[in-house]
Structure 1
Amino acid sequence: MDDYLNDMALFVEVVKAKGFRNAAQAVGIPNSTLSRRITALEKTIGLRLLHRTTRRIELTEAGQLYFERCKRIVEEARLAHEQLGDMLAQPSGVLRVSLPVDFGVTYLAPLMVEFAELYPGIRFDFDLTSRRIDLVSERFDVALRIGESEDSQLIARPLASLTPNLYASPAYLERAGEPAKPADLAHHECLTILKASRWTLREGKRSVTVPVGGRFALNSVGMIRRLAVLDRGIVLMPHEVVADDLASGALRPVLPRWHGEAVQIYAITETRLLPAKVQRFIEFLQARLAR
C-alpha cells in the first residue's frame, strides 16, 4: 500500500512538471527510476495514464481523471504531515511568490520585511514579473496580482481594494495649467498604461468617462510614476504607489474630489489546501492591506 501511495505522488509530480526529467530533478530520483515506477503504477491500475513522446507527455482520458483525484489526495496527505509539524514549530521552508514588479518594489517590500521578521524559519524566493505565470508547472506557492484571475480553475483570494487618484508634479501644473474639471484632461499630457484612451472618474454617485492621451504610453507603473515626477504629465494610480512622491512634494493631487475605479489585489493559488507558510503569508497580507 505504501508503494502504491508513493507512486501516486510521483505520478502527480510528473504531470505537474510536464515531463519525467523535471519531475525527477524535483523529487531527487533518477529519471529511469521514475519512469519505471509510473509504468508499474499503470500496470497495477490496468490502464495507460500517459502518452509518452520524446519531447513531452500527455495525459490519457483515464490519466486526467486519475490526476484530478490523486492531486487532492497527495495534497491533503502533505498538509496533514505539515500541520502536525506546525504543532511543534513555526512554519518553515521556501515560500515562492510571484508578484508585479512595480507594485512589489514600491508598496509590498516593507510588508515582506515585516513578515520575514515574524517567521524566521521561512526563506523567500520572489519572482517579480507582470506575466501570467503557471502556478502548477512553475511551482509557485502563490501569485499576487492586481485584477481578477483569468483562470477559473485557480483560487483567487481578495487581499485589498485600491482606489486610483490623479497626480502630477508642481512643475508640470505650473507649465500646463491645472485642470478644473475632468473634461480638461483631454487637453493635458496623461500618462496611460497599456495604451488606455479613456479614464472613468467618479465623484460620489457621479461618473464620467473622459478621453485621455499624450506622448507616452507604457506598460510599467514604475516608469509612469517616474515620468510624472519628471514633469511629463498627469497619472492615475493608487495613493499607496506614489506615497513617497507625495510626501516629498514631487507629486501633488489633481482634481482631488475625483477618483478612478477601484481595483482588487488578489492572492492566486492553485488549490484551497494551503501549507502553513502560504496560509500565514496570505493572512498577514489581508490584515496589513486592510489598514
Structure 2
Amino acid sequence: MTAIALHANDLILFAHIVEAGSFTHASDQTGLPKSTLSRRLSSLENAFGERLLQRSTRRLVLTEFGERILEHARRLMEESEAAAALAQHRQATPHGTLRVSLPPEFHELFMIRVLTEFSRQYPHVRLDIDLSARRVDLIAERFDLAVRIAAQLPDDSSLVARRITTLHNGLYANPEYLACRGMPRTPEDLLDHVGLILVTSGGESSPWRLSRGTEDAWEGLPLHSLRANSVGLQQALAAQGLGIVGLTDSFAAPLVEQGILQRILPEWHLPSMIVWCVTPGRRLLPQRTIAFIESLKAVLGDGMPASSAS
C-alpha cells in the first residue's frame, strides 16, 4: 500500500474552513486568500483521493469521509493553538533554566545584586551559574549566555556580543600604606613600592600599563610584588595596607568613600575594559535570556547596542 503524503497545515486549514462555514470567513480568520484556501483543500482531497466538502454557491457540506477526517483535523488545530499559546506564554512570562557563565570575580561586577534582583523579579527562572576563568563553549556546553570582560573579543561568527558597559581602571592604596611608604608622584615612583600584581592564566605577571591623555604612556612593574590570580584577594590585601593595586574605579568607590582606599596618580589610567554579554546565535532568544540581559544593563550598563562577536 502506497503511503499518503499529508501536510498537517492543510488539515488544520480544512478544520478552519469548516469552523468558519465559508471560504470568505475562513480567509478573514486565517489571513489567506480564498484562492489559496481552495487550492490547499483540493490538494488535500487529491492526496486522500476523496472529497471532503461538497461546494455550492451558498454553503459547504461535509461528505461522510470529510466528517471522519474533521475529527483528526480539529485535534491538530487544537494542538497547534495550544503550542502557540504555550510559546506566547513563555515569551510573556520568563521561566525555565538559564545557564550563565560568569567571571570568578563576579562580586566585583555587582553580580550579587544582579542575581538577587533577577531572581526576585523572575521567580520561575531557575539560575544555573558557572564561575570559571576559562572561556566556555556556549554552544557545545549549552550555556544561554556568558559575561566576559575584555577590551576586544575574538572573532566568532556563531556568537553575538552585547556591550554592557565600559570599566575604567586606576591605581589604589590604603592611606596608612601611603603614609608609611610615601605618595607616588610619577609612574617611575611606583618601582619603589609594593605592587599587588594580577597573574594571567599563563602564570605571567600583568604589568601596569598607564596612560595620560593620548601621548603619555608608561609600562612597568614594582620591584617588590605580591602576585595572585584573584582581583578580589588583591583588593582585600590593598585594603589592609599591603601594597598598591589596580582596580575598576566604580568598584573601588565604596572603599574610597569609607577611607579604606585612596586613588593615586589620578591623572594616569590603566587600560579600560568592556563588559560583554555573549549569546549563541542571532535570533529567537528565550525571554529569560532577554530578561537577564536587561537586568545586567539596569545594574551595570550604559545601554550600548548589540554587536556581532565576529
Task: Classify the TM-score, shorter chain.
Answer: 0.5 to 0.7
Q: Does structure 2 conserve the Cα–Cα contact (< 8 Å) formed by 1:103 and 1:241?
A: no
Q: Give the counterpart of 2:89 among 67, 85, 91.
A: 85
- Flag the 1:167–1:82 CA change in 2: closer, same or farther, 3 A: farther
Deviation string, structure 1 residues 197-230 (Cα, Å, up to 9, x no partner) = 5322233334312311333122111111111112
Inter-partner Cα distance in structure 1 for 2:86 and 2:104 = 31
Deviation string, structure 1 residues 27-64 (Cα, Å, up to 9, x no partner) = xxxxxxxxxxxxxxxxxxxxxxxxxxxxxxxxxxxxxx
- Percent of aligned pairs with the same residue? 36
- Flag the 1:186–1:81 CA change in 2: closer, same or farther, 3 A: farther
Q: TM-score, normalised by structure 1?
A: 0.66
Give 2:162's aligned residue: 157
Q: Does structure 2 conserve the Cα–Cα contact (< 8 Å) formed by 1:135 and 1:269?
A: yes
Deviation string, structure 1 residues 219-247 (Cα, Å, up to 9, x no partner) = 11111111111211111110233233223
1:143 matched to 2:152: no
| Matched position secondary structure for 2:184 | coil
Q: Give the counterpart of 2:297 among 271, 286, 290.
A: 286
- Flag the 1:288–1:80 CA change in 2: closer, same or farther, 3 A: farther
Inter-partner Cα distance in structure 2 for 1:82 and 1:247 = 50
Give 1:51's aligned residue: none
Counterparts of 1:220-235 in structure 2, within 5 Å, are: 220-235=230-245
Inter-partner Cα distance in structure 1 for 2:296 and 2:124 = 18
Further displaced range: 152-161 or 99-108: 99-108
Give 1:200's aligned residue: 209
Q: Does structure 1 conserve the Cα–Cα contact (< 8 Å) formed by 2:194 and 2:243?
A: yes
Distance apart, 1:185 and its partner CA: 1.2
- Flag the 1:230–1:99 CA change in 2: closer, same or farther, 3 A: same
- Flag the 1:80–1:284 CA change in 2: closer, same or farther, 3 A: farther
1:259 matched to 2:269: yes
Give 2:120's aligned residue: 117
Q: Does structure 2 conserve the Cα–Cα contact (< 8 Å) formed by 1:185 and 1:210?
A: no
Inter-partner Cα distance in structure 2 for 1:258 and 1:265 = 21
Q: Does structure 2 conserve the Cα–Cα contact (< 8 Å) formed by 1:199 and 1:260?
A: yes
Inter-partner Cα distance in structure 1 for 2:216 and 2:125 = 46
| Runs of 4+ in structure 1 over 4 Å off | 79-83
| Matched position secondary structure for 1:261 | strand
1:172 matched to 2:183: no
| Matched position secondary structure for 2:148 | strand
Which structure 2 residue ranges, 5 or more long, are not aligned?
Answer: 7-82, 303-310
Inter-partner Cα distance in structure 2 for 1:112 and 1:185 = 38
Give 1:34's aligned residue: none
Larger radius of gyration: 2
Inter-partner Cα distance in structure 1 for 2:263 and 2:86 = 48
Q: TM-score, normalised by structure 2?
A: 0.62
Q: Does structure 2 conserve the Cα–Cα contact (< 8 Å) formed by 1:143 and 1:267?
A: yes
Give 1:211's aligned residue: 220
Which structure 1 residue ranges, 5 or more long, are not aligned?
Answer: 3-78
Inter-partner Cα distance in structure 2 for 1:255 and 1:82 = 57
Distance apart, 1:174 and its partner CA: 1.3
Give 2:258's aligned residue: 248
Distance apart, 1:110 and its partner CA: 0.9
Distance apart, 1:275 and its partner CA: 0.9
Give 2:110's aligned residue: 107
Inter-partner Cα distance in structure 1 for 2:86 and 2:269 = 45
Distance apart, 1:94 and its partner CA: 1.4
Q: Give the counterpart of 1:277 among 288, 302, 308.
A: 288
| Matched position secondary structure for 2:143 | coil
Alignment size in residue pairs: 214
- Flag the 1:272–1:173 CA change in 2: closer, same or farther, 3 A: same
